[in-house]
Structure 1
Amino acid sequence: MRGVVQRVLEAHVKVDGQVVGQIAQGLVVLLGVAEGDTETDLKYLVEKTINLRIFEDDEGKMNRSVIDIGGSILAISQFTLLGDCRKGRRPSFITAAKPEEANAKYEDYVRLVRQQGVTVETGIFRADMKVQLINDGPVTMILDSTKLL
């Protein structure tokens, strides 16, 4: 499971010209689910996302999490994060989970984050989405459950 986490001042996602999810300060999380991702992968990404200390404290150090600042998360499903671009010119998506599995894991991610008291807005799974954000910093982190030590 992979996540691209961006610290934002605000963000929204539109489908067919209509805003379907919107947050103020917090995180935009682009989430890719791989074939065979487990509950362990899911829990790792949830815990890492909500506890990642990438917001500044009073001394200007990145020492606060989205929970600490009372921020929100805009979670967007994005299978292209599993694209393999090493060969040829067209990405291969053979490691991406099938839509049913990916949607279930994406919904589980959203549910588990909400259970931790964080407000989560979402896009629409498999829709053509337009995501607009103001990246704060910019600060962007890549989380990958396959990189566990």
Structure 2
Amino acid sequence: MKVVVQRVLKAKVSVDGQEVNSITKGLCLLVGLHKSDQQSDINYMVQKILKLRLFDKDEKKWHSSVVDMGYEILSISQFTLCYKLKGNKLDFHYAMPGDAARQNYQYFLESLKKSYDETKIKDGVFGGKMEVEIVNDGPVTVQLETSEKTISEQSRECQDDV
């Protein structure tokens, strides 16, 4: 599982020019699921995101999480994060297939809601062609991955495929 976490002043997702969801200050998550991801990977990632200290509080630099600050989260499914390059071509065969990805992404969202405040968790349209507007705060962008071993194994497998 790979998540790009961006600290934002605001973020919005639209489909066909119609706003689907938006947040003010908080985190925008771009979420990619690998085909080998398990619920344990998702549970780990949810906790990591919610505890990640990216915010200032009481003039202390980056000592607070999104939960500490009571900020919002906008989550966007993005299978393209699970790519490997074959020459100059993107290969997505490590991305989780459609139905399984939809179920696991929903599990990710529900886990975020159960672990935080469901009214502060927003998302886009799974599988939709979305327009995402992000006003990055800082800018601060962090990449999280569930298992370095899994990523390394997948990289080796991809090299073997070339």
TM-score range, shorter chain: over 0.9
Following superposition of structure 1 onto structure 2, how do residues 69-88 of structure 1 map, counting pairs within 5 Å?
69-85=69-85, 87-88=86-87
Aligned-partner Cα distance in 1 for 2:39–2:113? 16
Displacement of 1:21 in angstroms is 1.0
Name structure 1 gaps, 5 residues minimum: none
Q: Tell me what 1:18 maps to.
A: 18
Q: Tell me what 1:45 maps to.
A: 45
Displacement of 1:60 in angstroms is 4.1
Opposite residue 32 of structure 1, the aligned amino acid is G
Displacement of 1:140 in angstroms is 0.4
Q: Which has the higher helix share?
A: 2
Q: Tell me what 1:110 maps to.
A: 109
Q: Tell me what 2:98 maps to.
A: 99
Q: Tell me what 2:29 maps to.
A: 29
Aligned-partner Cα distance in 2 for 1:145–1:110? 16
Aligned alpha-carbon RMSD (Å) = 1.1
Displacement of 1:147 in angstroms is 2.4
Aligned-partner Cα distance in 1 for 2:23–2:123? 10
Opposite residue 8 of structure 1, the aligned amino acid is V
Q: TM-score, normalised on structure 1? A: 0.95
Q: Percent identity?
A: 40
Q: TM-score, normalised on structure 2? A: 0.88
Following superposition of structure 1 onto structure 2, how do residues 48-67 of structure 1 map, counting pairs within 5 Å?
48-67=48-67
Q: Secondary structure at the match of 2:127?
A: coil
Q: Is 1:125 aligned with 2:126?
A: yes
Q: Is 1:142 aligned with 2:143?
A: yes
Q: Secondary structure at the match of 1:91?
A: strand
Displacement of 1:40 in angstroms is 1.1
Q: Which moved more, 1:52-61 or 1:105-114?
A: 52-61
Opposite residue 104 of structure 2, the aligned amino acid is K
Aligned-partner Cα distance in 2 for 1:4–1:64? 18
Q: Secondary structure at the match of 2:89?
A: coil
Displacement of 1:57 in angstroms is 2.0
